[in-house]
Amino acid sequence: MITVFGSLNADLVCQVPQLPVPGETVTGPSYTVVAGGKGANQALAAARAGAAVRMVGAVGRDAFAEAALASLREGGVDLSGIVESPERTACAFIGVDPAGQNLIIVASGANLETRAEQLHRTGLQPDDLLLLQMEVTHAENWKAVAVAKAAGARVVLNLAPAGAVPPETLRQVDFLVVNETEARQLGEQLGLAERTPEEIAARLAADFVAHCIVTLGAEGVAAYGAGGTHRLPALSVEVVDTTAAGDAFVGGFAAAIHQGQPMERALAQGVVTGGLACRRLGAQSSLPPRDEIDAALQGYRF
């Protein structure tokens, strides 16, 4: 099973003519309330890609809690690891422009109440995969990594949003997923001499993590590690909204890895899942089902 330790949000999404600059107000015709949060997005993406998934996190005792959980429940994600917090359910405020680019502000709320000790009640097994992001308290993330390794489980860390990671924790990570910005910031934190995202990812794989995957937007993805170097192109799609595209990649990739797929095939599934998510508005509402992923993989060349 894939156990996702991470965030759950209610997302308020508004389409706007352009993204605002500091001090500017822009208006949109309406807004939608959809489920989001990097943890929940990745959990649902992995479930829709065919994996058995358990979500571990926290929501508040408010109306947004059900909005944050509904899609996961419908998608068959095990919610027994979710706890109620006195804090409000996390909420994200998202503006999307006509080109599909977005601006996101997140109020963390109950996400900061998620605790690694919740994992002890899930019964992690050696064949489990623990999937983490950076929208819960970072210290709890590092404790969660230690719990997973003690159980013999593998760890996937998506360093999003970017943040500092203790070197000793990095060395326990099996798969590190970063975008270009996150790669550069982590390289600076570790004092690496390498400057390009690809060079930094290669160095991270050589000195810290078993595998480092760097997503490169329209340029696709590059991966470095014990199995060698892999570069795959992006999926060609008409972009409507890039919200959750990175989460879709991680969920699709994690599902394939957990199912025993080789690295190149897992990366392809991640790329296709992320690309397909760009065709629809919203976070979890954009995540593709297994049949769409399989159909797109048939025409994807890697």
Give catalytic residue positions. Answer: 247
CA 138, chain centre distance (Å): 15
- Tell the residue number behind the tokens 């822009």, with chain if given: 26
DSSP state of 234: P
In terms of Cβ atoms closer than 10 Å to its own Cβ (0-12, 13-18, 19+), residue 253 is buried
User: Comparing C-alpha atoms, which of 150, 102, 141 is closest to residue 4?
Assistant: 141
- Tell the residue number behind the tokens 């989460």, with chain if given: 247
CB 93 within 8 A of CB 105: yes
In terms of Cβ atoms closer than 10 Å to its own Cβ (0-12, 13-18, 19+), residue 165 is buried
State how far the Cα of 126 lies from the Cα of 116, in Å rounded to an integer. 17
State how far the Cα of 180 lies from the Cα of 200, in Å rounded to an integer. 10
Length of the chain measured in residues: 302
CB 30 within 8 A of CB 81: no
β-sheet bridge partners, residue 33: 12
DSSP state of 14: E
Look at residue 5 and give its three-state secondary structure: strand
CB 49 within 8 A of CB 293: yes
Any residues with CB less than 8 A from the CB of 217 and at least 6 apart, and which? 179, 180, 234
User: Comparing C-alpha atoms, which of 287, 245, 264 is closest to residue 49?
Assistant: 287
